[in-house]
Structure 1
Amino acid sequence: MFTISNGIILKGNNLVPTKENIVVDDGKIIEIGKESKEGKIIDVDGAIVCPSFINGHIHIGDSIIKDEGYGLSLSEMVKPPNGVKHRALADASDDEMIEAMKSSMWEMVNSGTTHFIDYREGGIKGVELLKKASEDIPIKPIILGRDNSFYGDNPDLGKVKIAIRKILKIADGIAPSGFGEITDEVAQLISSQCAKAGKISSIHVAESEANQIESLNNFRISEIGKGVKNNFSQLVHITNPKANDLELLGKSNSNVVVCPRANATLNVGVAPLKKIIDLGIKPLLGTDNVMLNSPNMFRELEFTLKIMSVCYKSYINPLELLKMATTNICGFNINDIIQKSVIDTDNSAEFFVVKSFSKNPYLNICNRVETKNILYTINKKIDI
């Protein structure tokens, strides 16, 4: 048992700053209060106590090819089955994959992340490799699998059904790459089977302008429209929405993930994040491909804070931005799968303590803090 004392706690779903103490016992927050003190007392002297991060979208498998292919197009880099990433994954040994993924997970742990949602290539074997890699690391991967049987113009739907059922037995959901690689029949099978199993269906949409134009030309509906129509529970990127796409999203049950650094690296645009938030949508923030970016959420927060000001001539509320990396997930049904805690009594202890450099706790974290400024990291697998 220990007490984090004299800190500024970002408490509850809305990250309300309050100067209180937190008592932790056996991985649980058992009491929060100004006078609460039990066990070992750790005086953090005005430091900020923030819920741990959730990385809302990552491809951890391509940790094996960091910074390769820089400057290539989106399709050249990541489009299955012949993108730079997919060729590298096919050539890598299991041991190489595991060690590379372990390295990226430790980087996330050391920079305040306790959960990440991974688009896992490689079918059942890919899911099993990530589970093995994460066994002894204090982090929770939410694994969304996929299978090569999903792809092509005339897939065998019987094989697709079998693959989906097998993956859902061991994974947290299904995540094909995009609508350019699957038919509507496959999309509907994925979303319906995931919903039936109470698991996540996720897909990239509107990552590039070219993808949107192709979808409109071929199907008279945008990729975002297809994602909503096919009832995917999570849509990733939203970089290039068309008319009424965002309003459609706001009325849907899909949650949204944006990945600004990856979009910038691939030169595909910047998600209209302020408009997304103004419509009442509560997006998550992700670092995307490890081959493109460090999975460090502090770097993603600072980049996002500033690129939105440059592109849209309008400041983004740093509180809303920080919620994208922490508590927004708690407003969606998929939190039943992810089980991400906020700082509150009777919840799991999942938070970090960082130095305070300014009077604004949200800007302090989004704009100032680096990994070296973390004083303590607490989660269910770490005690002090």
Structure 2
Amino acid sequence: MFTISNGIILKGQDLVPSRENIVVDEGKIIEIKKDAREGKIIDVGGAIVCPSFIDGHVHIGDSIIKDEGYSLTLSEMVKPPEGVKHKALANASDDELIEAMKQSMWDMVNSGTTHFIDYREGGIKGIKLLNEASRDIPIRPIILGRDDSFYGDDPDLSKVKSAIRKILKVADGIAPSGFGEITSDVAKMITEECSRQGKISSIHVAESESNQIESLNNDKVTEIGKGVETNFDQLVHLTNPKSNDLELVTNSNQNVVVCPRANATLNVGVVPLNKMLDLGIKPLLGTDNVMLNSPNMFRELEFTLKIMSVYYKSYINPKDLVKMATTNICGFKINNIVKKSVILEDNFAEFNVLKSFSKNPYINICNRVETKNILYTINKIFSI
């Protein structure tokens, strides 16, 4: 048992600041009060106590090719099966993949991340490799698998059905790459079976303008429209929405993840995050491909804070940004799998204690704090 004393706690799903103490016993928060003091007392001297980070979208497998292919197009980099990433994954040994993923997960842990949602390539084997790599690391991967049988213009649907069921026995859900690689039949099979089993279905949509144009030319509907129609739980990117795309997402109440740094690295645009927030969409923030960016949420928060203001000529609320990296997960339909806690009594202890540099705790986190300024990261299993 220990007490985090004299901290500014960002409590609840809305991250309300409160100067109180937190008592933790066997991985759970048992009391939050100004005068609470039990066990070992850790006086943090006015530091900020914030829920630990969830990285909403990662491709951790491509940790093996950091910064390779810089300046290539989106398709050249990541489109299966000929993208730079997919060729590298195919040629890497299991040991190389495991070691690279371990290094990336420790980078996450050391920068305050305790959960991440991974788009896992390599079928069943790829899922097993990530499980092996994450063993004994204080982080929880939420694994969304995929299989090569999903792809092509005329897939064998019996093989697709079998692959879906096998993946869902060992993974938290399924995430094909995008609508340019799968048919509508495959998409529906994935979402229906995931829904039946209470698992996550996720897909990239509208990452590039060209993807949107191709979808409209071929099917008279945008990729975002397809994502809504086929009922994927989680839509990733939405960087280039058309007409009423965002209103469709708002009305469908689907989960959204945005990845501004990856969009910038691939030169595909700036996500209209200001409009999303105005419409009531509450996205998660993701760092995306490790080959493109470090999986560091502080860097993602700072970049997003600044690119939105300069591009859209409108400041974004830093509190909304911090929620995108922490408590927005609580509103997701997939929260039964992620189980990400807010800072409240009787919840799991999952929080960072961060050095305070300025009076506004939210701008402090987005604009000032670096990895070296994490005083403690606490979760229900480990204390770092």
The 3-state SS of whatever aligns with 1:303 is helix
Q: Is 1:50 the counterpart of 2:80 in the alignment?
A: no
- Indicate the residue corresponding to 2:283 in structure 1: 283
Give the Cα–Cα distance (whole angstroms) in 2 for the partners of residues 69 and 176 of structure 1. 22
Give the Cα–Cα distance (whole angstroms) in 1 for the partners of residues 253 and 45 of structure 2. 42
TM-score, length basis structure 2: 0.99
* 1:56–1:286 contact (8 Å) kept in structure 2: yes
- Indicate the residue corresponding to 1:234 in structure 2: 234
Aligned-partner residue type, residue 57 of structure 1: H
Give the Cα–Cα distance (whole angstroms) in 2 for the partners of residues 383 and 273 of structure 1. 34
Q: CA deviation at 1:284?
A: 0.3
Q: Is 1:70 the counterpart of 2:70 in the alignment?
A: yes
* 1:28–1:349 contact (8 Å) kept in structure 2: yes
Aligned 1:205-216 pairs, distance under 5 A: 205-216=205-216
* 1:27–1:383 contact (8 Å) kept in structure 2: no
Aligned 1:39-188 pairs, distance under 5 A: 39-188=39-188
Give the Cα–Cα distance (whole angstroms) in 2 for the partners of residues 276 and 333 of structure 1. 18
Give the Cα–Cα distance (whole angstroms) in 1 for the partners of residues 253 and 17 of structure 2. 30
The CA deviation string for residues 275-309 of structure 1, in whole angstroms up to 9 with x for no partner, is 00110011000000000000000000000000001
Q: Is 1:363 the counterpart of 2:374 in the alignment?
A: no
The CA deviation string for residues 192-216 of structure 1, in whole angstroms up to 9 with x for no partner, is 0000010100000000000000000
Give the Cα–Cα distance (whole angstroms) in 1 for the partners of residues 44 and 382 of structure 2. 18
- Indicate the residue corresponding to 1:301 in structure 2: 301
* Structure 2 portions without partners, runs of 5+: none
- Indicate the residue corresponding to 1:15 in structure 2: 15
Q: CA deviation at 1:382?
A: 1.5
- Number of residue pairs aligned between Structure 1 and Structure 2: 384
The 3-state SS of whatever aligns with 2:193 is helix
The 4+ residue runs of structure 1 with deviation greater than 3 A are: none
* Structure 1 portions without partners, runs of 5+: none
RMSD: 0.6
TM-score, length basis structure 1: 0.99
Q: Percent identity of the aligned residues?
A: 80
Aligned-partner residue type, residue 365 of structure 2: I
* 2:255–2:333 contact (8 Å) kept in structure 1: no
The CA deviation string for residues 30-52 of structure 1, in whole angstroms up to 9 with x for no partner, is 00000111000000010000000
Q: Is 1:346 the counterpart of 2:346 in the alignment?
A: yes
The 3-state SS of whatever aligns with 2:21 is strand
- Indicate the residue corresponding to 1:335 in structure 2: 335
Give the Cα–Cα distance (whole angstroms) in 2 for the partners of residues 318 and 225 of structure 1. 30
Give the Cα–Cα distance (whole angstroms) in 2 for the partners of residues 107 and 294 of structure 1. 8
Q: CA deviation at 1:253?
A: 3.0
The CA deviation string for residues 45-81 of structure 1, in whole angstroms up to 9 with x for no partner, is 1000000000000000000000000000000000000
Aligned-partner residue type, residue 177 of structure 2: S
Give the Cα–Cα distance (whole angstroms) in 2 for the partners of residues 162 and 253 of structure 1. 29
Aligned-partner residue type, residue 55 of structure 1: D
The CA deviation string for residues 245-270 of structure 1, in whole angstroms up to 9 with x for no partner, is 00000001310000000000000001
Q: Is 1:27 the counterpart of 2:27 in the alignment?
A: yes
The 3-state SS of whatever aligns with 1:185 is helix
* 2:142–2:172 contact (8 Å) kept in structure 1: yes
The 3-state SS of whatever aligns with 2:307 is helix
The CA deviation string for residues 344-382 of structure 1, in whole angstroms up to 9 with x for no partner, is 000000001011000000000001000000001101122
